[in-house]
Structure 1
Amino acid sequence: MSNCIAVMDLGTNTFHLLIADVTDGTFNELARDHEAVKLGEGGINKGHIQQNAFDRGIAAMERFSSQIGQYNVKRVKAIATSALRSASNGTDFINTVKEHTGIEIEIIDGIKEATYIYHGVKAAGALSASTSLIMDIGGGSVEFIICTQDEMLWKQSFEIGAARLIERFHQVDPIPAEAIQQLHAYLDEILKDLFTAAKDIGVDKLIGSAGAFETFAEVLELEKQDDFDVKHIKTYDFDLDSFIRITDILIASSSQQRKAMKGIISLRVDMIVVASIITRYVMDKLNIKRVSMSTYSLKEGVMVVQALSLES
């Protein structure tokens, strides 16, 4: 028996919609959409969604609601993460969405977010018997999961997403060396729990979950071929030297240079710099030499959990 489910991932930078037909614990994608709402713009570190961002978010949800209405959807799951978790007017946003669309939004904590991300990356086939570190760089938070294909060994969410780091450290473009040093010092303090866990457990590989890692793959592949589309793949293995080269270029680049690069969507022109810095920082700290990417992330993980719940 099949069931149609709609899942929404309401992130700090982007709202995502995934509609799929679920049969026997697996899903077949019917529709996918996203909207760059920039919910944290101008206020993420102040804990308040600014009016323009608030309005963009409501408009996106109304559009998603219209799309959902085109399918025989049995269940709707809307998940909100860091921006709505920390915003003083997050409840106002949730109530307005319910009033305009009937959609009920569930705010999840960082640990549940990490769990969904794990299930998404696992569904992509990116995990193996060896120990990996999944890294999901969002606009508001970054999730780290140390895991194998069989189990999660450790997980934690940190409120150090790209939008937050840009506001604190990337006010001058290109980003100055002093700002990078300050960011490194900040991460030294914030990510102590990660480094302790990784040292105790051991990590063989870094797996980037969608987002910025899709951009890294797009930029590298579009240097070689004009018709590469990251959305047509589920996983991607980076060549280490190429990965180091492209992140070095991105960190040193100006906004205009990034805008001119094939593979960088407008939403990521700014965030890709801090995403590059934090990724390279974690790789250096943990001496990681293998890097890959999963295009499946939180929304696919939510879909997998929903599919399994229908079976039970």
Structure 2
Amino acid sequence: MRVAVIDLGTNTFHLLIAETAGKDLKILYKTNVPVKLGEGRINDHIIIPAAFERGVNCLKDFSHTLASYQVDQVRATATSAVRSAENGQDFVYAVKEHTGITIETISGDEEAALIYQGVKLSGAITGLSLIMDIGGGSVEFILCDTESLIWKKSYNIGAARLMQRFFKSDPLSDEDKQAILFHIQEQLADLFEICEKFKPRTLIGSAGAFETFAELVTRKHNQNIAIEQIKTYPFNYDDYIDISVKLINSTHRQRVEMPGIIPLRVDMIVIASLITNYVLGRCQINRLMLSTYDLKMGVLASQV
């Protein structure tokens, strides 16, 4: 059977098509498009007309790909940008009308559970760990071990939200940094309480920004590793810290010129670095791992 997963993220829409035979999966096709659905007014809970149109057009293209691959089953999930927008349901209706694709708007809790399933498939969880998924609209945290999901929560502190609210300087000023960190500290109080209780020793970054961090680290050491073709990547902690500090203190132009950063992530990677470093410090974690498997693989696993 051929199944497809469409992940409608705040920044990027992903399409994954796989052949399934029992529990076996073979990826036939995957692509992602920087739709930027949360552009402009995500904090006002609005999908602006240009972003709305980009989203519908992207899904029209996806529908043609689904037809060409003769897909039997499709699951399309929408996350923070759609669930928090006043016109999110209008977008869901428009997509159905123009493409025939039915979008399921999932809650933050459902999103976190699916991220856990995806990361678990990668083999990244080897002990008590904290999974972190930095999206454009929300950030999910999952406390887990090899056997079970212990605790999970989604927070509306995604990179696009924080950028639109706090990113006012280039390079980011100390004042803007402090405003961002104060906001993170306020929002994540219960996360830090649960981590104080369980004391996870590994932070697992789920795809996205963490793939960019890995790309930058491997390029720094001239390692010939195709990040998109591996399931996991263990960071050298000092390497990660060195790269993240460089990103936080860089100008927009300097980041544009860094090989390994895709255009969509040129500014958001600064926010991702700040959040990651703050969580590592507050939770006293000094082991960092990338899982390239995320929500998409979790949804795919749920289809098998």
Assess same fold via TM > 0.5: yes
Give 1:6's aligned residue: 4
Tell me the C-alpha RMSD between the 2 structures: 0.9
Give 1:100's aligned residue: 98
Separation in structure 2 between the aligned mates of residue 288 and residue 118 of structure 1, nearest angstrom: 19
Aligned length: 304
Give 1:44's aligned residue: 42
The one-letter code sitting in structure 2 at the alignment partner of 1:260 is E
The one-letter code sitting in structure 2 at the alignment partner of 1:296 is Y
Separation in structure 2 between the aligned mates of residue 70 and residue 244 of structure 1, nearest angstrom: 44
* Structure 1 portions without partners, runs of 5+: 308-312
Give 2:66's aligned residue: 68
Deviations 1:96-140 (A, max 9, x none): 110111100000000000000001001111111x10000000000
Give 1:284's aligned residue: 281
Shift in Å at residue 227 of structure 1?
4.7
The one-letter code sitting in structure 2 at the alignment partner of 1:21 is E
Does 2:197 align with 1:205? no
Distance 1:66 1:227, change over 3 A: farther
* 8 A contact 2:218–2:224 mirrored in 1: no
Shift in Å at residue 72 of structure 1?
2.4
* 8 A contact 1:26–1:304 mirrored in 2: no
Shift in Å at residue 228 of structure 1?
3.5
* 8 A contact 1:65–1:101 mirrored in 2: yes
* 8 A contact 1:234–1:295 mirrored in 2: yes
* 8 A contact 2:214–2:227 mirrored in 1: yes
Could you tell me the percent identity over the aligned residues?
50
Give 1:300's aligned residue: 297
Separation in structure 2 between the aligned mates of residue 195 and residue 138 of structure 1, nearest angstrom: 20
How does the TM-score come out when normalised to structure 2? 0.98
Shift in Å at residue 149 of structure 1?
1.9
Which one of the candidate residues 113, 136, 148 is aligned to 2:111? 113
Give 1:80's aligned residue: 78
Does 2:131 align with 1:168? no
* 8 A contact 2:8–2:79 mirrored in 1: yes
The one-letter code sitting in structure 1 at the alignment partner of 2:148 is E
Give 2:20's aligned residue: 22
> What secondary structure, in the 3-state scheme, does the structure 2 residue paired with 1:73 have?
coil
Separation in structure 1 between the aligned mates of residue 222 and residue 118 of structure 2, nearest angstrom: 28
> What secondary structure, in the 3-state scheme, does the structure 1 residue paired with 2:194 have?
helix
Give 1:180's aligned residue: 177
Shift in Å at residue 225 of structure 1?
2.7
* 8 A contact 2:42–2:161 mirrored in 1: yes
Give 2:87's aligned residue: 89
How does the TM-score come out when normalised to structure 1? 0.96
Distance 1:59 1:226, change over 3 A: farther
Give 1:232's aligned residue: 229
* Structure 2 portions without partners, runs of 5+: none
Separation in structure 2 between the aligned mates of residue 271 and residue 178 of structure 1, nearest angstrom: 18
Give 2:125's aligned residue: 127
Give 1:310's aligned residue: none
